[in-house]
């Protein structure tokens, strides 16, 4: 099939050069689309770790810098690293559950999270070449279940935000509910009545209007923005020397495997959209970039990085498939990382505004998981059972975080992460029902 494709397009759409203005506009649009997602991870983890707004703003800048560099490498490639396709990189949601659990563990904190990130990135660099073999344990049935679970496990975060934020004195007050509902309504109405560019930036427009209304209701405090410099460079090891604790390291290594599975699925989807064949070699380069970005991220005060699914959706919606567009977007991200006042403004978004957007964003993650499940044989009763039990086990730490309190403490990052629980159950049940089950079915078929 790839031969036919190559014959049809003499120059691949991935290598297409665009006029400068169009390049910058479409590139900036990619930044707008992923900014909310990229900023959400440092916001969630920073709040869970009880950091000040200045420190959360610093986390956001660090994240934007690493995301920008990683996007540049992924788009243009350096030697054996980078898939050389229109891919946007950012801090991965898959690690949020584990990192929030670590932030609450005594003696771990931020330095423990960064240590686990470095170790997991190194582990990812080691396993990336073998990932094409491991992929068979992650068919659409398993990846769809895990991605659905990621969305569902993030819902409590969105709902806490929508009610005014964790620890809000008057949680669930009418003004918080009204503001988060307004943001969600704006996003839904734009998607219903407008097209193209407006749909792509609907989340951003919703958050911007919500921010303005929140500010008029006295929910936005910019105390301290004067003290922030106009220009600042992110320095490595800002929070101190990374620490390596066994349980967090193991749970982050598991997260990297989950990220690899997600990225593999995204790269394959992007290959279909851009009419580019994803051979094992290209896949390895893409995954190596994911892993090395995570490795560097730990030193640069940020978290595990992966490709962003919503940007792959944007490539499909706009039809602009050039990798130079995401390279242009990378320069915007790096520029934003040098402007602390801009990051401070983002850090001061009222939680209720994030809540309205979060319900839509995290819901879309769950919906994309359900879409992937359509590729699996979901009519098969055993596959239905796999999805049911895996997601059920993943919801345990979400519904009752103290459910596994009697288990040893080193298991906490796994038992406290709904995503890790779902992934383990889905892989094990898939091996039991389908991989080992296939051999049994083949033996039966032989008798007929």
Averaged pLDDT for residues 311-338:
81
- Burial class, 406, CB count within 10 angstroms (exposed 0-12 / middle 13-18 / buried 19+): exposed
Least confident of 76-85, 295-304, 419-428: 419-428
- Please say if the pLDDT value at position 18 is more than 80: no
Band (10; pLDDT cuts 50, 70, 90):
very low
| pLDDT at residue 189, as a whole number | 92
Higher pLDDT, 56 or 70: 70
Residue-averaged pLDDT of the chain: 82
pLDDT at 343: 66
pLDDT tops 60 at residue 323: yes
pLDDT surpasses 80 at 176: yes
What pLDDT score does 443 carry?
58
Is the pLDDT confidence value at 321 over 50? yes
Q: What is the mean pLDDT of residues 120-149?
A: 84
Average pLDDT over every residue of 141-146:
85
pLDDT over 50 (residue 2): no
The predicted structure's pLDDT at residue 318: 60
Q: Is pLDDT at 3 greater than 60 in this prediction? A: no
| Main-chain dihedrals φ then ψ at residue 125, nearest 5 degrees | -65, -35
* Higher-confidence position of 439 and 51: 51
Cβ-based burial of 76 (10 A; exposed 0-12, middle 13-18, buried ≥19): middle
Which phi and psi (to 5°) does residue 78 adopt?
-130, 110
Confidence of residue 446 (pLDDT cuts 50, 70, 90): low
Q: Are 102 and 248 in contact (CB under 8 A)?
A: yes
Compare 356 and 21 and report the one with higher pLDDT.
356
Supply the pLDDT for residue 137: 77
Report whether pLDDT(245) > 90.
no
**Selection from 49-58, 113-122, 405-414, 435-444 with the highest mean pLDDT:** 113-122
Least confident of 229-238, 263-272, 409-418: 409-418
Q: Is the pLDDT of residue 411 over 80?
A: no
pLDDT higher at 298 or 415: 298
Which pLDDT score is estimated for 367?
A: 80
**Distance of alpha carbon 433 from alpha carbon 67, whole angstroms:** 39
Q: How confident is the model at residue 316 (pLDDT cuts 50, 70, 90)?
A: low
Mean pLDDT of 404-424: 77
Query: What is the rounded average pLDDT of the residues 405-433?
Result: 81
Q: What is the pLDDT of residue 429?
A: 93
| pLDDT score at 4 | 34
pLDDT at position 298 is: 92
For residues 200-213, give the mean pLDDT. Answer: 82
């Amino acid at each position: 099939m790839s031969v036919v494709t190559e014959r049809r397009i003499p120059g691949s759409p991935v290598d297409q050069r665009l006029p400068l203005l169009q390049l910058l506009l479409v590139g900036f649009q990619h930044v707008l689309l992923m900014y909310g997602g990229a900023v959400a991870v440092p916001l969630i983890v920073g709040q869970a770790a009880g950091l000040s707004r200045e420190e959360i703003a610093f986390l956001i800048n660090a994240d934007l810098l690493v995301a920008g560099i990683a996007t540049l490498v992924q788009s243009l490639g350096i030697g054996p690293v980078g898939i050389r396709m229109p891919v946007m990189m950012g801090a991965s949601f898959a690690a949020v559950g584990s990192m929030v659990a670590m932030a609450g563990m005594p003696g771990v904190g931020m330095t423990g999270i960064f240590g686990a990130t470095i170790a997991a990135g190194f582990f990812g660099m080691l396993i990336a070449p073998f990932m094409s073999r491991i992929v068979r344990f992650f068919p659409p049935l398993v990846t769809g279940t895990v991605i659905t679970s990621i969305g569902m496990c993030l819902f409590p975060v969105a709902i806490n935000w929508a009610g005014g934020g964790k620890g809000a004195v008057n949680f669930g007050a009418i003004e918080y509910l009204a503001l988060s509902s307004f943001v969600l309504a704006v996003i839904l109405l734009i998607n219903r009545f407008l097209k193209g560019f407006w749909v792509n930036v609907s989340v951003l427009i919703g958050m911007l209007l919500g921010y303005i209304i929140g500010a008029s209701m006295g929910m936005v405090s910019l105390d301290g923005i004067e003290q922030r410099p106009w220009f600042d460079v992110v320095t490595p090891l800002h929070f101190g020397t990374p620490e390596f604790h066994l349980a967090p390291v193991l749970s982050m290594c598991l997260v990297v495997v989950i990220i690899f599975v997600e990225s593999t699925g995204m790269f394959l989807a992007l290959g279909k959209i851009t009419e580019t064949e994803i051979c094992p070699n290209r896949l390895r380069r893409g995954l190596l970039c994911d892993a090395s970005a995570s490795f560097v991220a730990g030193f640069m005060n940020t978290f595990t990085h992966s490709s962003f699914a919503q940007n792959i959706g944007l490539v499909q919606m706009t039809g602009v498939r050039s990798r130079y567009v995401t390279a242009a977007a990378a320069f915007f991200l790096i520029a934003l990382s040098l402007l602390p006042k801009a990051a401070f403004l983002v850090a001061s978004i009222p939680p209720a505004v994030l809540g309205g957007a979060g319900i839509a964003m995290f819901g879309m993650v769950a919906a994309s998981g359900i879409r992937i499940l359509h590729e699996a044989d979901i009519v098969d009763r055993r596959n239905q059972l796999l999805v049911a039990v895996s997601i059920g086990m993943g919801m345990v730490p979400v519904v009752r975080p103290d459910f596994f309190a009697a288990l040893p403490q080193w298991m906490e990052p796994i038992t406290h992460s709904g995503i890790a629980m779902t992934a383990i159950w889905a892989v094990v049940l898939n091996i039991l029902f389908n991989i080992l089950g296939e051999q049994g079915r083949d033996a039966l078929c032989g008798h007929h």
